[in-house]
Amino acid sequence: MPEMPEVETILMDLKPLLAGRRIVSADCADPSAIKMPGAHGEFCRRVAGTTIVDLHRIAKYLILRLDTGDEIVLHLRMTGRLVYDPDGEQPATRERVALKLDGGGTLRFVDLRRLGTLHLVRDARRLPAIEALGPDPLAPRFTARRLRRLLRGRRSRIKPLLMDQRFLAGLGNIYANEALHCAGIRPTRRAHTITMDEARRLHRAVRRVLRKGVMHGGASTRTYRRPDGSVGRFQEAFEVYDRAGAPCPTCGEPIKRIMVAGRGTFYCSRCQR
Protein backbone atom coordinates (compact mmCIF):
# COMPACT_ATOMS: atom_id res chain seq x y z
CA MET A 1 0.00 0.00 0.00
CA PRO A 2 1.33 3.49 -0.80
CA GLU A 3 2.24 5.18 2.49
CA MET A 4 2.59 8.86 3.29
CA PRO A 5 5.86 9.45 1.33
CA GLU A 6 4.41 7.82 -1.78
CA VAL A 7 1.24 9.95 -1.59
CA GLU A 8 3.34 13.07 -0.93
CA THR A 9 5.47 12.24 -4.00
CA ILE A 10 2.35 11.80 -6.14
CA LEU A 11 1.05 15.13 -4.83
CA MET A 12 4.29 16.95 -5.69
CA ASP A 13 4.37 15.37 -9.16
CA LEU A 14 0.73 16.15 -9.98
CA LYS A 15 0.34 19.63 -8.51
CA PRO A 16 2.17 21.50 -11.30
CA LEU A 17 0.35 19.39 -13.91
CA LEU A 18 -3.20 19.74 -12.56
CA ALA A 19 -3.55 23.00 -10.63
CA GLY A 20 -5.54 25.47 -12.74
CA ARG A 21 -6.70 22.81 -15.23
CA ARG A 22 -10.36 22.38 -16.13
CA ILE A 23 -11.95 18.92 -16.02
CA VAL A 24 -13.69 18.54 -19.38
CA SER A 25 -15.37 15.25 -18.47
CA ALA A 26 -15.16 12.25 -16.18
CA ASP A 27 -15.44 8.63 -17.30
CA CYS A 28 -16.19 5.90 -14.76
CA ALA A 29 -15.29 2.50 -16.19
CA ASP A 30 -15.77 0.99 -12.72
CA PRO A 31 -18.63 2.72 -10.86
CA SER A 32 -17.77 0.86 -7.63
CA ALA A 33 -14.77 3.19 -7.21
CA ILE A 34 -17.10 6.13 -6.45
CA LYS A 35 -18.27 6.23 -2.83
CA MET A 36 -20.97 8.90 -2.58
CA PRO A 37 -24.76 9.35 -2.78
CA GLY A 38 -25.84 9.04 -6.40
CA ALA A 39 -22.59 7.23 -7.14
CA HIS A 40 -20.85 7.57 -10.47
CA GLY A 41 -23.54 9.48 -12.39
CA GLU A 42 -23.64 12.27 -9.82
CA PHE A 43 -19.84 12.30 -9.56
CA CYS A 44 -19.36 12.68 -13.31
CA ARG A 45 -22.02 15.39 -13.56
CA ARG A 46 -20.63 17.49 -10.70
CA VAL A 47 -16.97 17.42 -11.70
CA ALA A 48 -17.45 18.08 -15.43
CA GLY A 49 -16.60 21.69 -16.24
CA THR A 50 -14.94 22.41 -12.89
CA THR A 51 -11.41 23.70 -12.41
CA ILE A 52 -8.85 22.10 -10.08
CA VAL A 53 -7.69 25.00 -7.91
CA ASP A 54 -5.44 23.14 -5.48
CA LEU A 55 -4.12 19.73 -4.43
CA HIS A 56 -3.15 18.71 -0.92
CA ARG A 57 -2.79 15.65 1.29
CA ILE A 58 -4.24 14.42 4.57
CA ALA A 59 -2.26 11.35 5.71
CA LYS A 60 -2.62 8.84 2.83
CA TYR A 61 -5.55 10.71 1.22
CA LEU A 62 -4.96 12.90 -1.84
CA ILE A 63 -7.42 15.78 -2.23
CA LEU A 64 -8.25 17.79 -5.35
CA ARG A 65 -10.08 21.03 -4.48
CA LEU A 66 -12.41 22.32 -7.20
CA ASP A 67 -13.57 25.87 -7.93
CA THR A 68 -17.13 24.87 -6.96
CA GLY A 69 -16.00 24.18 -3.38
CA ASP A 70 -16.25 20.41 -3.86
CA GLU A 71 -13.27 18.19 -3.09
CA ILE A 72 -12.31 14.92 -4.79
CA VAL A 73 -10.82 12.64 -2.13
CA LEU A 74 -8.74 9.68 -3.35
CA HIS A 75 -7.38 6.79 -1.36
CA LEU A 76 -5.18 4.37 -3.32
CA ARG A 77 -5.46 1.45 -0.84
CA MET A 78 -3.32 -1.55 -1.81
CA THR A 79 -2.69 -1.24 -5.54
CA GLY A 80 -4.19 2.06 -6.69
CA ARG A 81 -2.16 4.33 -8.99
CA LEU A 82 -2.66 7.75 -10.51
CA VAL A 83 -1.34 7.94 -14.06
CA TYR A 84 -0.97 11.22 -15.90
CA ASP A 85 -1.42 10.60 -19.62
CA PRO A 86 -0.32 13.74 -21.51
CA ASP A 87 -1.89 12.55 -24.77
CA GLY A 88 -5.10 11.24 -23.21
CA GLU A 89 -5.73 8.80 -26.02
CA GLN A 90 -5.76 5.19 -24.81
CA PRO A 91 -7.42 3.97 -21.58
CA ALA A 92 -4.98 2.26 -19.24
CA THR A 93 -5.21 -1.39 -18.20
CA ARG A 94 -7.28 -1.76 -15.01
CA GLU A 95 -8.52 1.81 -15.34
CA ARG A 96 -11.42 2.69 -13.03
CA VAL A 97 -11.90 6.45 -13.43
CA ALA A 98 -10.50 8.98 -15.90
CA LEU A 99 -10.60 12.78 -15.66
CA LYS A 100 -10.14 14.39 -19.09
CA LEU A 101 -8.49 17.81 -18.86
CA ASP A 102 -8.53 20.92 -21.01
CA GLY A 103 -5.61 21.32 -23.37
CA GLY A 104 -5.28 17.55 -23.69
CA GLY A 105 -4.15 15.09 -21.07
CA THR A 106 -6.01 12.72 -18.77
CA LEU A 107 -5.61 11.75 -15.14
CA ARG A 108 -6.28 8.02 -14.86
CA PHE A 109 -7.07 6.12 -11.67
CA VAL A 110 -5.77 2.57 -12.19
CA ASP A 111 -6.25 -0.15 -9.59
CA LEU A 112 -5.36 -3.82 -10.00
CA ARG A 113 -7.28 -5.07 -6.94
CA ARG A 114 -10.07 -2.47 -7.17
CA LEU A 115 -9.87 -1.46 -3.51
CA GLY A 116 -9.14 2.25 -3.94
CA THR A 117 -11.88 4.83 -3.49
CA LEU A 118 -12.98 8.28 -4.63
CA HIS A 119 -15.34 10.58 -2.72
CA LEU A 120 -16.77 13.93 -3.80
CA VAL A 121 -17.50 16.02 -0.72
CA ARG A 122 -17.71 19.64 0.42
CA ASP A 123 -15.05 19.22 3.11
CA ALA A 124 -12.64 16.28 3.16
CA ARG A 125 -11.95 16.84 6.85
CA ARG A 126 -15.55 15.84 7.62
CA LEU A 127 -15.26 12.37 6.09
CA PRO A 128 -15.60 9.90 9.00
CA ALA A 129 -12.42 8.05 7.98
CA ILE A 130 -10.43 11.30 8.00
CA GLU A 131 -12.01 12.55 11.23
CA ALA A 132 -10.82 9.32 12.89
CA LEU A 133 -7.16 9.81 11.89
CA GLY A 134 -4.42 10.36 14.43
CA PRO A 135 -1.89 13.20 14.17
CA ASP A 136 0.29 13.72 11.12
CA PRO A 137 3.85 12.87 12.23
CA LEU A 138 5.33 15.59 10.02
CA ALA A 139 3.09 18.33 11.44
CA PRO A 140 4.91 20.95 13.57
CA ARG A 141 2.54 20.32 16.50
CA PHE A 142 3.52 16.65 16.65
CA THR A 143 6.29 16.71 19.26
CA ALA A 144 8.20 14.02 21.15
CA ARG A 145 6.28 14.92 24.32
CA ARG A 146 2.98 14.45 22.52
CA LEU A 147 4.15 11.07 21.24
CA ARG A 148 5.12 10.04 24.77
CA ARG A 149 1.67 11.05 26.05
CA LEU A 150 0.02 9.00 23.31
CA LEU A 151 2.12 5.95 24.23
CA ARG A 152 1.40 6.18 27.95
CA GLY A 153 -0.85 3.37 29.15
CA ARG A 154 -0.88 1.59 25.77
CA ARG A 155 -0.17 -2.13 26.17
CA SER A 156 -0.16 -3.01 22.48
CA ARG A 157 3.12 -3.71 20.74
CA ILE A 158 4.79 -0.65 19.33
CA LYS A 159 4.96 -1.62 15.64
CA PRO A 160 1.25 -2.34 15.03
CA LEU A 161 0.42 0.73 17.10
CA LEU A 162 2.54 2.93 14.81
CA MET A 163 0.64 1.46 11.85
CA ASP A 164 -2.76 2.17 13.40
CA GLN A 165 -4.04 5.19 11.47
CA ARG A 166 -6.14 6.26 14.46
CA PHE A 167 -2.94 6.54 16.51
CA LEU A 168 -0.62 8.07 13.92
CA ALA A 169 -1.64 8.90 10.36
CA GLY A 170 0.43 7.89 7.36
CA LEU A 171 2.76 5.09 8.46
CA GLY A 172 2.54 1.61 6.98
CA ASN A 173 4.66 -1.50 7.25
CA ILE A 174 7.75 -0.23 5.42
CA TYR A 175 8.19 3.00 7.34
CA ALA A 176 7.29 1.50 10.73
CA ASN A 177 10.05 -1.11 10.27
CA GLU A 178 12.58 1.50 9.19
CA ALA A 179 11.68 3.99 11.94
CA LEU A 180 11.96 1.42 14.73
CA HIS A 181 15.38 0.34 13.51
CA CYS A 182 16.50 3.96 13.27
CA ALA A 183 15.27 4.54 16.85
CA GLY A 184 16.83 1.32 18.21
CA ILE A 185 13.47 0.01 19.49
CA ARG A 186 12.40 -3.61 19.06
CA PRO A 187 9.06 -3.93 17.19
CA THR A 188 7.61 -6.26 19.83
CA ARG A 189 8.07 -3.81 22.72
CA ARG A 190 4.92 -2.85 24.61
CA ALA A 191 4.17 0.79 23.90
CA HIS A 192 3.79 1.79 27.56
CA THR A 193 7.39 0.70 28.27
CA ILE A 194 8.85 3.31 25.90
CA THR A 195 10.79 5.86 27.97
CA MET A 196 10.88 9.60 27.31
CA ASP A 197 14.37 9.28 25.85
CA GLU A 198 13.20 6.48 23.54
CA ALA A 199 10.14 8.53 22.58
CA ARG A 200 12.45 11.35 21.51
CA ARG A 201 14.49 8.92 19.40
CA LEU A 202 11.35 7.42 17.89
CA HIS A 203 9.91 10.86 17.12
CA ARG A 204 13.10 11.84 15.29
CA ALA A 205 13.27 8.48 13.52
CA VAL A 206 9.68 8.57 12.23
CA ARG A 207 10.14 12.05 10.80
CA ARG A 208 13.56 11.17 9.38
CA VAL A 209 12.45 8.05 7.49
CA LEU A 210 9.30 9.74 6.14
CA ARG A 211 11.33 12.66 4.81
CA LYS A 212 13.93 10.27 3.42
CA GLY A 213 11.13 8.37 1.66
CA VAL A 214 9.87 11.58 0.06
CA MET A 215 13.42 12.56 -0.95
CA HIS A 216 13.75 9.23 -2.79
CA GLY A 217 10.33 9.51 -4.48
CA GLY A 218 8.77 6.73 -2.39
CA ALA A 219 9.40 2.99 -2.36
CA SER A 220 8.50 0.86 -5.40
CA THR A 221 8.44 -2.58 -3.81
CA ARG A 222 5.37 -3.87 -5.69
CA THR A 223 2.86 -1.84 -7.69
CA TYR A 224 3.69 1.74 -6.70
CA ARG A 225 4.74 4.01 -9.55
CA ARG A 226 4.88 7.77 -9.88
CA PRO A 227 2.31 9.44 -12.19
CA ASP A 228 4.74 9.38 -15.14
CA GLY A 229 5.34 5.65 -14.67
CA SER A 230 8.79 5.96 -13.11
CA VAL A 231 9.73 4.07 -9.95
CA GLY A 232 10.59 5.42 -6.53
CA ARG A 233 14.08 4.75 -5.14
CA PHE A 234 13.63 4.43 -1.39
CA GLN A 235 13.80 0.61 -1.62
CA GLU A 236 17.49 1.09 -2.47
CA ALA A 237 18.00 2.75 0.93
CA PHE A 238 16.17 0.21 3.14
CA GLU A 239 18.11 -0.65 6.28
CA VAL A 240 15.94 -3.54 7.52
CA TYR A 241 12.70 -3.86 5.53
CA ASP A 242 12.73 -6.94 3.26
CA ARG A 243 16.40 -7.59 4.14
CA ALA A 244 16.11 -10.77 6.23
CA GLY A 245 19.52 -12.41 6.59
CA ALA A 246 21.42 -9.37 5.30
CA PRO A 247 23.82 -7.63 7.70
CA CYS A 248 22.51 -4.78 9.82
CA PRO A 249 24.07 -1.59 8.42
CA THR A 250 24.83 -0.45 11.97
CA CYS A 251 26.39 -3.53 13.61
CA GLY A 252 26.58 -6.32 11.00
CA GLU A 253 24.19 -8.68 12.83
CA PRO A 254 21.91 -10.57 10.38
CA ILE A 255 18.49 -8.94 10.07
CA LYS A 256 15.71 -11.14 11.48
CA ARG A 257 12.19 -11.57 10.09
CA ILE A 258 9.20 -12.35 12.31
CA MET A 259 5.44 -11.89 12.10
CA VAL A 260 3.89 -9.19 14.29
CA ALA A 261 0.12 -8.70 14.12
CA GLY A 262 0.07 -10.62 10.84
CA ARG A 263 2.67 -8.44 9.10
CA GLY A 264 6.22 -9.27 8.08
CA THR A 265 8.54 -7.50 10.51
CA PHE A 266 12.28 -6.93 10.13
CA TYR A 267 14.67 -5.92 12.90
CA CYS A 268 18.19 -6.23 14.33
CA SER A 269 18.29 -8.23 17.56
CA ARG A 270 21.48 -6.46 18.64
CA CYS A 271 20.66 -2.81 17.88
CA GLN A 272 16.96 -2.82 18.75
CA ARG A 273 15.99 -3.25 22.40
Q: If you write DSSP's letter for every residue of 103-141 in order, what string do you get?
A: TS-EEEEEESSS--EEEEES-GGGSHHHHT----TTSTT
Contacts of 16 (CB under 8 A, 6+ apart): none
List residues with catalytic annotation.
2-3, 60, 263
DSSP 237: G
Closest CA to 49 of 34, 64, 66, 65: 66
Tell me if 113 is assigned to a ligand binding site. yes
Tell me if 226 is assigned to a ligand binding site. no
H/E/C letters for each residue in 17-71?
A: HHCCCEEEEEEECCHHHECCCCHHHHHHHHHCCCEEEEEEEECCEEEEEECCCCE
Q: Which residues line the annotated binding site?
A: 113, 154
Q: Which residues line the annotated binding site for DNA?
A: 113, 154
